[in-house]
Amino acid sequence: MSDSSAPAAGTTPAAPVSLTAAQRRAVAELLRVSPVADELGRRFAAAGHELHLVGGSVRDALLGRLGNDLDFCTDAHPDETLRIVKGWAEAIWETGREFGTIGVQRDGLRLEITTFRAESYDRVTRNPVVRYGTNLVEDLERRDFTINAMAVSLPDHRFTDPYGGLADLAGRLIRTPGTPQESFGDDPLRMLRAARFAAQLRFAVAPPVRAAMTAMAADLDRITAERIRDEFTKLLCGVDPITGLRLLVDTGLAERFLPEFTGLRLEIDEHAQHKDVYEHTLIVVSNAVRLEDDGCDFVLRMAALMHDVGKPATKAVGPDGRVSFHHHEVVGARLTKQRMKDLRYPKDIIGQVVALVALHLRFYGYGRGEWTDSAVRRYVADAGDLLPRLHKLTRSDVTTRNRRKARQLAEDYDALEERITRLRAEEDLARVRPDLDGNAIMELLGVPPGPVVGRAWKHLKELRLERGPLSRDEAEAELLRWAREQGITD
């Protein structure tokens, strides 16, 4: 492999960087797909066209984290690409054809082949005016960051790095091929992508890039909610979401789509008044990440991020000067629901996050010995399938520096979990149901399906939560008593 470092017109070439033995092995790892990639490269070469592996595929191979989705670029136009892959690809999709992209599947790999691009933008929307390019270096120049502007040509495996991506990869730096102002002006979503890569890769953002993100944050308003949601989700699921979140707040980007989070910086935390709520929240997110079982739990991380967003609206200072945030979990749940709806998250995900935010304070007070078995049953019933996440969120919310207090809270929650385990052994807490089902209620009361059955069912469930399991005779007697009080039976 040889390096190619010819810069595009008007740019300053980076100093040539030689691949180390380890990096060469990483590119060789990229070519574990060579039976497919080289074969495809030979097909394009036979048709008189170029083919290059580009972008994230090359970056991830150099980082030792290559996946099965590979990106290629070519001088062939979509119709020519279709002719080349026809009969070779196991599946073909053309959903990106208007942007020059043809999708292909082969031997378990998903390949996207895009014609060289040199598009321009209208600076109003994110949609590019597609103009096909004529060479590889021009195509690489239009990419978001230098670490994504490297290529491996096929089938000869020539390495091309005109903008110093390899050096930036080694230096763990996020930088743009051209000026960041031009790059972000073309596509403001790239500002969010810079923060996302900082979270995913633990890379630093170059000062000029950071300055442009700050100056141009308002341009993010041009981007659709769905695209912002997708980038933000990837950021929050990064290995270091705290770095990404701080970058969003410090540059003003968070204010454009998550203003509730930025507003936390000015509030005092009720549990540890030496910290503001913003810093407390970042610690809670970090704690939640450490408690995850297997990979990113977005619902848990998002609940940790939003659990205190109701505090600014509920802040009060008492006569003694003490700060309180009464019912901030209720307000926070409402704000979280609206914000996630605005970002177009699925309803089931919104419901889970909102429920956790609403429940996150329920545990406090348990250590005073005020909880009956009924209260424990309600805690489990209200949490439902979210109980394991609620355990983690509640434990993550303990950020006090007072070791004695932290130890006491941990012991209290240990005691609650042990109590839940004991009650589960005695009762089926995972499925708290009335002791009579709908059919039994209708038969005993002599009523048809309808609202009366629903009311009776809810009454019996409340009894079940309050008193635990009832025998059949006890349940029937309680139902008949309730029906008489309601005037349903004589």
pLDDT in tens, the chain (490 residues): 334 433 333 334 343 334 465 556 556 666 665 689 889 999 999 999 999 999 998 898 888 777 788 999 999 999 999 999 999 999 999 998 988 999 999 998 999 999 998 755 566 655 556 678 889 999 999 899 999 999 989 988 888 999 999 889 989 999 999 999 999 998 999 999 999 999 999 999 999 999 999 999 999 999 999 999 999 999 999 999 999 999 999 999 999 999 999 998 865 544 444 458 999 999 999 999 999 988 999 999 999 999 999 998 888 888 877 777 878 999 999 999 999 999 999 999 999 999 999 999 888 766 566 677 778 887 888 888 999 999 999 999 988 877 888 788 888 888 888 888 887 776 654 445 555 777 888 877 888 888 888 888 777 777 776 677 777 777 777 778 888 888 787 6
Q: Please indicate, yes or no, whether residues 347 and 464 belong to a single structural domain of this protein.
A: no
The answer to the question of residue 368 being in a domain is: yes
* Per-residue confidence (pLDDT) for residue 116, from 0 to 100: 94
CATH number at residue 49: 3.30.460.10
Q: Please indicate, yes or no, whether residues 117 and 47 belong to a single structural domain of this protein.
A: yes
Q: Please indicate, yes or no, whether residues 40 and 67 belong to a single structural domain of this protein.
A: yes
Q: Please indicate, yes or no, whether residues 411 and 286 belong to a single structural domain of this protein.
A: yes
The answer to the question of residue 176 being in a domain is: no
Name the burial class of residue 185, with classes exposed (0-12), middle (13-18) and buried (19+) by CB atoms within 10 angstroms of its CB: middle
Q: Please indicate, yes or no, whether residues 8 and 135 belong to a single structural domain of this protein.
A: yes
The answer to the question of residue 301 being in a domain is: yes
The answer to the question of residue 120 being in a domain is: yes
**Which of 257, 292, 310 is at the close of a domain?**
257
Q: How far apart are CA 355 and CA 217, in angstroms?
A: 31
Q: How far apart are CA 416 and CA 418, in angstroms?
A: 5
The answer to the question of residue 264 being in a domain is: no
Q: Please indicate, yes or no, whether residues 344 and 449 belong to a single structural domain of this protein.
A: no
Q: Please indicate, yes or no, whether residues 16 and 99 belong to a single structural domain of this protein.
A: yes
The answer to the question of residue 263 being in a domain is: no
Q: Please indicate, yes or no, whether residues 313 and 419 belong to a single structural domain of this protein.
A: yes
User: Can you list the alpha helix ranges (DSSP code H) found in 48-95?
Assistant: 56-62, 78-85
The answer to the question of residue 334 being in a domain is: yes
**Which of 430, 447, 469 is at the close of a domain?**
430
Q: Where are the beta strands (DSSP E) in 108-264?
A: 109-115, 120-121, 128-129, 151-154, 159-160, 173-174, 204-205
Domain encompassing residue 476:
434-485
pTM for the predicted model, two decimal places: 0.79
Q: Please indicate, yes or no, whether residues 273 and 235 belong to a single structural domain of this protein.
A: no
Cα radius of gyration rounded to whole Å, the chain: 29
Is the bond leading into 155 cis (omega within 30 degrees of zero)?
A: yes
* Per-residue confidence (pLDDT) for residue 236, from 0 to 100: 98
Q: Please indicate, yes or no, whether residues 191 and 283 belong to a single structural domain of this protein.
A: no
* Per-residue confidence (pLDDT) for residue 21, from 0 to 100: 58
Distance between alpha carbon 433 and the CA centroid of its chain, in Å?
Answer: 34
The answer to the question of residue 452 being in a domain is: yes
DSSP assignment of 388-439 equals HHHHHHHHHT---S-HHHHHHHHHHHHHHHHHHHHHHHHS-GGG---SS-HH
CATH number at residue 219: 1.10.110.30
Q: Please indicate, yes or no, whether residues 378 and 444 belong to a single structural domain of this protein.
A: no
Distance between alpha carbon 255 and the CA centroid of its chain, in Å?
Answer: 18
Q: Please indicate, yes or no, whether residues 415 and 472 belong to a single structural domain of this protein.
A: no
**Which of 389, 415, 430 is at the close of a domain?**
430
Q: Can you count the helices (H) and strands (E) in the chain? A: 24, 14
Structural domain total, the chain: 4
